[in-house]
Amino acid sequence: MLELKGIRQVFRSGQDQVVALDGIDLLLDRGDFLTIIGSNGAGKSTLLDVIAGVLVPTAGRVLVGGLDLTATPAWRRARRIGRIVQNPLSGTAPTMTIAENMALAMKRSGRSFFPALTKRRRRQFALALSTLGMGLEHRLDVPAFLLSGGERQALTVTMATLAKPDILLLDEHTAALDPANGKLIADLTEAHVKRTRLVTLAVTHNMEQAIHLGNRLIMMHQGAIVLSLEGEEKSKTSVGQLVELFSRRHIVDDALLLEAAS
């Protein structure tokens, strides 16, 4: 379904260059749920940017359902790829109402000159929102900026489900929320992913989440995949083991840094 072949992403600024992604190969099938962990600067978000089309990789190819989308602009990929980011403010148009935001998310191509909000659609939106149990279905005409962070993120997840994408990218989408709301959004996302069997990639800093969510896990470091766990192997790994693997990497790094310094 989603295939990444030898993705390299190099950022240049004058003489300086940073290798953000250094030869990423990845193959995900329908229904796969991959969690991605790694320290800051490991290249996790850059990887999602490449998949979403925000960045065109320096080298390598992005294939979705056998189609080469490497150079396809982000807006054209939107029909197949949905993305939810950490900041709840990012996923909605603030001055537009809940219903208008949902109408924007529902039709991702071939927008028409017909009214966006029909009675039928409003009912459909209300129904989708009622499953959240937040009462948002009664606030369809409230602008999004009046919602709390949790409400906005719940709306964003609901919007992502309306569009029925093939691939869902989650970029620490629960990290900015309080624990209760974070749990709610995580559960909501998981339920949706299970129901629709789409390909999901989720960046997280929460080790427990990384193990319990989904069927695959990768750890990234300095732009490369340094650990890949799958199925049983993944579910049997404890948080402690994962943290140890994680920090061992860092200790090695620190040692290298010290060496380089002296």
Partner 1 sequence: MVALLMHAAEQGLVFGIAALGVFISYRILRFPDLTVDGSFVTGAAIASSLIVVQGLDPALALALAFAAGCLAGMLTGFLHTRLGITDLLAGVLSMIMLYSINLRIMGKPTISLLRAETITNVISRILAPVGSAAILVFLAGVALVVKLLLDLFLKTEVGLALRATGDNEAMITAQGVNTKTMKVAGLALSNGLVALSGGLVAHYSGFVDIGMGIGTIVTGLAAVILGGSLIRSRRAGWMTASVLLGSLIYRTAVMFALRYGYAIGFQASDLKLVTSLLVIVALVIPTFRDRFLQRRRPC
Which positions lie near partner 1, rule CB under 8 A?
52, 73-76, 78-79, 82-83, 90-97, 100, 103-105, 107-109, 111-117, 143, 145, 163
Angle of helix 149-162 versus helix 98-106 axis, rounded to 10: 30
Beta strands 199-203 and 33-38 are parallel
Dist CA 210 CA 35 (whole Å): 5
In angstroms, give the least distance from the CB of 237 to partner 1.
Answer: 33
In angstroms, give the least distance from the CB of 145 to partner 1.
Answer: 4
Is residue 99 within a helix (H) or strand (E), and if so which, with residue range? Answer: helix 98-106
| Residue 171 burial (CB count, 10 A) | 22
Is residue 167 within a helix (H) or strand (E), and if so which, with residue range? Answer: strand 167-171
Dist CA 112 CA 70 (whole Å): 28
Nearer to partner 1, 52 or 217 (CB): 52
Nearer to partner 1, 117 or 239 (CB): 117
Beta strands 2-13 and 33-38 are unpaired
Nearer to partner 1, 81 or 210 (CB): 81
In angstroms, give the least distance from the CB of 1 to partner 1.
Answer: 19
In angstroms, give the least distance from the CB of 81 to partner 1.
Answer: 8
In angstroms, give the least distance from the CB of 255 to partner 1.
Answer: 39
In angstroms, give the least distance from the CB of 153 to partner 1.
Answer: 13
Nearer to partner 1, 111 or 183 (CB): 111
Nearer to partner 1, 8 or 107 (CB): 107
Nearer to partner 1, 125 or 246 (CB): 125
Report which residue type is found at 20: A
Dist CA 127 CA 124 (whole Å): 5
In angstroms, give the least distance from the CB of 7 to partner 1.
Answer: 20
Dist CA 34 CA 197 (whole Å): 12
Report which residue type is found at 208: E
State the residue for tokens 């080298």: 59
Query: Hey, what are 69's tokens?
Result: 């989308």
Dist CA 62 CA 27 (whole Å): 10
Nearer to partner 1, 7 or 103 (CB): 103
